[in-house]
Amino acid sequence: MQKTLFRRVRTVIPRLGPWADLRADFAASLVVFLIAVPLSVGIAAASGVPVELGLVTGVVGGLLTGLLPGSSMQVSGPAAGLTVLVYEAVRAYGLRALGVLVLTAGLLQLAMGLLKLGRWFRAISVAVVQGMLIGIGIVLIAGQLYALADADTPAGALENLGGLVTLFTDTVASPDALAAVAVGAGTVAVLAVWPRWRGAARVVPAPLAGVALATTAVALLELPVDRIRVRGLIDAIQPPGDGEFARLTEFGVLGTVLTFALIASAETLFSAAAVDRLHLRPRLGALPMTAVVVRSSADVHAGARTKGSRVLHGVWLLLFATLLPWALELVPVAALAGVLVHAGWKLLPGRELGPLWREHRGEVAILTTTAVAIVLTNLFEGVAIGLVLAVCKAAWETSHVHVEATTSPTGVVRARVIGNANFLRLPKLLDDLDALRPDAAPRIELDLTGLRHMDRAVHTALITWAERNAQNGDDEPTGRVMAH
């Protein structure tokens, strides 16, 4: 009797499994959808493109990317890490060219995937990645402070930072600007406090709560603040033409494409998703897309079990963008700016910076240099500078070379060079060798057999040193070298 009952229960459970998964994925998809709406719209606004394109990117991230292989819990959407770069690209090349840039970056990512280059992203210095995020956060916050006060954003990160004093004085003198700042600051406050109210946070995500409360307050108090402008989903989509594809021959455009591909790949791979997710969407002229940590974590915490949750969240975004676009026109710009200011603030280092400074000051130097370089130049050049500095630091730390000198009874000095020598250690190495030659210089035997590695710069320099100090011109400058 018990065995029969056990068999019945065991056969019923698998049948209920798919329905249980569907219920869990359905509930999780609604949570992710509620988070995706304000984030997609806010990232699009910060990127200088129509807000509808943010929703289009979110739709594709759910309906198309959601069906691709990979982690079932990874949810894709507009890339916050590329906001600054997209803004600069749209300003320099136009909105229609954005589709070409992202499409080409996606094809480049496909090629990188086929060549299995994803593993090389693991070799990127963590300090460079952290510095990149800090630089993006600073530039993002600086730009959104203007939107927070309903003011025009200057062109360029330096101009944004330099104009903050003027922004402050203009805001204080304008009641309308102060009202907008109050709305944005209130949104940031809700985003910071709401997660502590765990019961409410499980039902309504913090970004949605902040934007909804700000929108309600603006409507009830009839505050004179700017609101989102909606052009319509179809009108916002601008597929690129032949003229935009012809711009791929420009050096600056190619640099932007490379930056899109590398940063988007890094952001996705660092989220544990080594799958190309850009190649199905760019012809729509939408935004770059990556696996997004905020949405993915919300998906997991909401109890999602399969990739169905991320696909369903794309369905809800599509329905919202198609049937309720007018709802976006009720949202104040300052509220979305508050969401982005909060997102940028979370990119900045917190308590971990202190221990890092005490234990790895070299890493802090790379982190700081990368962030400052991004602010002073742009994302691509800043990351490149950080990578060069990280390589130099690694080369310095891995090169250990010293000279051991012994004098024979006949007065011959034997200088044995030991360790790993590269160009960074070359000046000190040559100084140590020159110090072995007193006024009455004895013969010097230069022994290089203790070198486990030396680069071409060191090799050439030691040959030159040996030839200059050789007693006879036919002495060999490798292995053991006799020098005067």
> What CATH number is attached to the domain comprising 427?
3.30.750.24
Same domain, 365 and 423: no
Cα dihedral 380, 385, 388, 390 in deg (nearest 10): -100
Contact 83, 46 (CB under 8 A): yes
Contact 462, 483 (CB under 8 A): no
- Domains in the chain, number: 2
Among 15-29, 100-114, 185-199, which stretch is predicted with the lowest mean pLDDT? 15-29
Domain that holds residue 238: 19-391
Same domain, 118 and 167: yes
307-311, 341-345, 438-442 — which one is most confidently predicted on average? Answer: 341-345
Mean pLDDT of 88-93: 83
Same domain, 344 and 405: no
For residue 6, pLDDT over 70 is answered with no
pLDDT tens figures, 277-301? 333 444 555 566 655 555 665 666 5
Same domain, 376 and 405: no
Mean pLDDT of 472-478: 43
Q: Which residue has the higher pLDDT, 242 or 425?
A: 425
Contact 253, 74 (CB under 8 A): no
pLDDT at res. 339? 83
Q: Which residue has the higher pLDDT, 430 or 19?
A: 430
pLDDT at res. 397? 72
Q: Which residue has the higher pLDDT, 109 or 28?
A: 109
pLDDT at res. 442? 57
pLDDT tens figures, 227-280? 887 776 666 666 777 677 777 777 778 888 888 887 777 666 655 433 333 334
Contact 286, 101 (CB under 8 A): no
pLDDT at res. 185? 92
pLDDT at res. 275? 34
pTM of the prediction?
Answer: 0.67
DSSP string, 226-248: -B-----HHHH-----HHHHHGG
Among 16-20, 221-225, 416-420, which stretch is predicted with the lowest mean pLDDT? 16-20
Alpha-carbon gap, residue 25 to 171, rounded angstroms? 45
pLDDT at res. 207? 80
Q: Is 47 helix (H, G, I), strand (E, B) or coil?
A: coil
Domain endpoint, select from 371, 391, 411: 391
The DSSP element (H or E) to which 418 belongs, if any, is strand 413-421
pLDDT at res. 302? 59
Same domain, 383 and 454: no
In sequence order, which residues have a C-beta less than 8 Å from that of residue 269 and are 6 or more positions away?
Answer: 118, 121
pLDDT at res. 63? 77
Q: Which residues pair with 308 in a beta bridge?
A: none
Average pLDDT, the chain: 75
pLDDT at res. 77? 73
Domain endpoint, select from 342, 364, 391: 391
7 within a domain of the structure (yes/no): no
Angstrom CA distances, 102 to 83, 135, 255, 468, stand at 13, 22, 12, 57
Same domain, 237 and 292: yes
117 within a domain of the structure (yes/no): yes
Contact 238, 283 (CB under 8 A): no
Q: Which residue has the higher pLDDT, 439 or 349?
A: 349
156 backbone dihedrals φ, ψ, rounded to 5°: 110, 145
Same domain, 143 and 245: yes
Per-residue pLDDT band for 118 (boundaries 50, 70, 90) equals: low
Say what angle helices 333-347 and 175-193 make with each other, to 10 degrees: 50
Please state, as a whole number, how many other Cβ atoms lie within 10 Å of the Cβ of residue 23: 12
Mean pLDDT of 340-347: 80
Per-residue pLDDT band for 342 (boundaries 50, 70, 90) equals: confident
Domain endpoint, select from 391, 417, 439: 391
Angstrom CA distances, 381 to 132, 258, 268, 342, 388, stand at 11, 12, 20, 26, 11
Same domain, 87 and 135: yes
Same domain, 414 and 381: no
pLDDT tens figures, 182-234? 999 999 999 889 888 877 777 777 888 888 899 999 999 888 898 887 776 66
- Locate 422 and state its tokens: 């590269």
Same domain, 249 and 339: yes
Same domain, 449 and 325: no
DSSP string, 128-192: HHHHHHHHHHHHHHHHHHHHHTT-PPPSSHHHHHHTHHHHHHHHHT-HHHHHHHHHHHHHHHHHH
Q: Which residue has the higher pLDDT, 393 or 190?
A: 190
